[in-house]
Structure 1
């Protein structure tokens, strides 16, 4: 049997890239009189909005907080005012008719967790071959509900899996046809584009994550982007205790709210990182192309298909491979063997409805599962891809991966 040489040192599937300039910006922020609620955060928000091409960008201490604020604001708009939202949650008012949001099961749990926190019911629809929510399956659900006289669906929340935009045109058409909102959890996709437009500007409202492993990082953080000024103002209240500042020391609390703010220190890191975002995306695409070339003739698996038109670009947040069905049962052995060889991997994601917490939201079909989502989960495995790796590193990792499949 061929002896496989381990990778130089352990590399996880992803890792942040922090420069000396980033560190200098953080230290400078620490020297400012205000290290929260200052001008750096405002500059970061303006830069985000300018980059994505939206009217508003609102920063948060996590993408989870941003999701909560988005869903809460959406429900407040549905009810007519923010106060109604806080006093009509199912736990306090059983007369409120629960509304639903169609979403994907192939995502991190925060996407659906915050729906439930805001009183929405998640309805899971199946995915396409690239792991993204299937607009045709969403329409099937909407048509079935229409036939039954049900009008509880208020929105569709898609997820740009691995940094690849969903079919924005299809979801815009659905939203218009059924008079609902299209929301986008674009946590994977800052820096991506669809037919010439930046992800973040496509949907009614979009969410970005600045977690350590995303396109850029603020350590922890997130943002809500939208062109709807009313949604923005409601989310802004929710983000900061429901309080409105007035003249001098005067302020008023007009609603219940939370402290979901991003600090100046985190914003300084984000503002510095944002200047390198396009170079990060260039690097991720260059490294992904090396993987693509190395794996093009593999009989064991194939790389996730990514659209490569001139005006459509992936952020390449992840590099997933999809195993041939005959190797699904060997996936755990493959992961363990790669770990022994200093190659870290991850699986994105187990379908949410298979978690105990979401057992009551399993799809309403004979088997309580979605075929494509189940197949995708069994097949997918994310390989290391981050800006601390170079072309030679990717070549070595690719060789190790192929050798491990040969061995197993």
Structure 2
């Protein structure tokens, strides 16, 4: 069967949350309870995330950026310390180093995986290097075996920015079990959501205790950790922390959403299979690489448009897809090209692969609530553009 290809009347976003009545009821239950914050839902959510990935501890934060900041604090990063990371990421992955007075050192990407290139990583390490922040771009885990080997050799802390990869595996192990600390994000476009939120998982009790203190003003009420104890009311601020506490409202939503994580990841993989099968073999269209050691959880579906695709440049292709109400996006502008980083002395040309990637990339819609017909709409638009024709063709539906 075929049907007429007509432009959509509403935007198909590149990502979107999926909430059901169970999620809504979980939030209502908290609103009717005694605790809106610092209550039992926080610990339940932390434990649920930690158990899912196989980690000992989980610490919830207001958002993923705050969680990364906490990880940098726990790792002891400070003035004079360098942290190696990738430029192909959201601003938070390197900003968290600046928050602690450290210096981000950008290592270029592998042009297949778009993750940090382990072959270049070791060359970026100096006596001032304190940590590595690996980023699992688009849901595909970084090469954590090699990154861990390099870090162990040089005595470095490994922080995995897994904002994109909850539910993914590397060498058969869940993301969350490779690094010293791993951050997951729960923004609405991620695999599951708490509205805003982040969690650090770790097996290290020392890191865990520092994270707990840091998210609450650097404060403790634990008598075993205090220098003195004036009474039951007493608390001590032992470090300069922040108010990065998640609310029970958010945590309750997270607990409910975690019950659907595997279902959501499975649906993302189904949509990717539709894209892969029907967008392959188009000249000039580069589809995402799938590392043989990794099982991506597919936060993003990123393609590259090379000159062979059409006479249009990336900007024109982007605009044409947006005009069809396809909510394409671009992930990401290399961090050091931002004006703030340029003022710090970072210059264009630092990471040629990341810059080349940025000039050609577009992110296509991918989220669990998408229908097969939504995916076909995107596929048909891209095929029509590749033929240098107006998008007025027909497309096959899943009822064939």
Q: CA deviation at 1:308?
A: 5.6
Deviation at 1:249, TM superposition (A): 3.2
SS of equivalent residue, structure 1 residue 155: strand
Give the match for residue 94 of structure 1: none
2:349–2:355 CA contact under 8 A, matched in 1: no
Supply the distance in 1 between the matched residues of 2:292 and 2:273 (Cα, whole angstroms).
11
Tell me if 1:340 matches 2:327.
Answer: no
State whether residues 218 and 242 of structure 2, in contact with CA within 8 Å, keep that contact through their aligned partners in structure 1.
yes
Residue 350 of structure 1 corresponds to 333
1:406 corresponding residue in structure 2:
387
Shift of 1:297: 1.4
Partner of residue 116, structure 2: 133
Superposition deviation, residue 359 in structure 1: 1.3
2:165–2:299 contact (8 Å) kept in structure 1: yes
Do residues 229 (structure 1) and 230 (structure 2) align? no
Partner of 2:361: 380
Out of 85, 92, 101, the position equivalent to 1:119 is 101
Q: Distance in 2 between matches of 1:296 and 1:205?
A: 37
Which of 202, 219, 228 is residue 243 of structure 1 equivalent to? 219
Aligned to 1:255: 239
Q: Corresponding residue for 1:314?
A: 296
Q: CA deviation at 1:407?
A: 3.2
Q: What TM-score, normalized to structure 1?
A: 0.88
For 1:330, the equivalent position in structure 2 comes to 313
The aligned runs of 1:47-62 (5 Å cut-off) are 47-62=48-63
Tell me the equivalent position of 1:21: 22
Contact residue 328 and residue 362 of structure 2 kept, 8 A: yes
Query: C-alpha distance in 2, partners of 1:108/1:68?
Result: 14
Q: Does 2:88 correspond to 1:106?
A: yes
C-alpha distance in 1, partners of 2:369/2:266?
13
Cα deviation per residue 1:368-394 (whole Å; 9 max; x = unaligned)?
Answer: 331111111112110000112111221
Q: In structure 2, what is the Cα distance between the partners aligned to 1:18 and 1:176?
A: 41
TM-score by length of 2: 0.90
User: Which residue of structure 1 lines up, in the alignment, with residue 272 of structure 2?
Assistant: 288
* SS, match of residue 27 in structure 1: helix
State the partner residue of 1:37: 38
CA distance in 2, matches of 1:167, 1:126: 14
1:391 aligns to 2:368 (yes or no) = no
1:299 has 2:283 as partner: yes
Q: 1:103-252 maps to which residues of 2 (within 5 A)?
A: 103-129=85-111, 130-142=113-125, 145=126, 151-245=127-221, 248-252=232-236
More helix as a share of residues: 1
CA distance in structure 2 between the partners assigned to 1:329 and 1:6 by the alignment: 20
Task: Return the offset for 1:73.
Answer: 1.6
Q: What stretches of structure 1 of length at least 5 have no aligned partner?
A: 77-88, 91-97, 146-150
How many residues align? The count is: 376
Runs of 4+ deviating beyond 3 Å: 246-250, 325-329, 360-364
Instruction: Please say which of residues 323-332 and 53-62 is displaced more in the overlay.
Output: 323-332
What 5-or-longer segments of structure 2 have no aligned partner? Answer: 223-230, 390-400
Paired residue secondary structure (1:75): coil
Q: Which residue of 2 aligns with 1:85?
A: none
On the 8 A contact 2:108/2:354 being kept in 1, the answer is yes
Q: In the alignment, is the contact (CA less than 8 A) between 1:63 and 1:210 conserved in 2? A: yes
Answer yes or no: is the 8 Å Cα contact 1:6–1:341 preserved in 2. Answer: yes
- Residue 360 of structure 1 and its aligned partner are, at CA, apart by 5.1
State the SS of the aligned residue for 2:357: helix
> How much has 1:156 moved relative to structure 2?
1.1
Q: CA deviation at 1:8?
A: 5.0
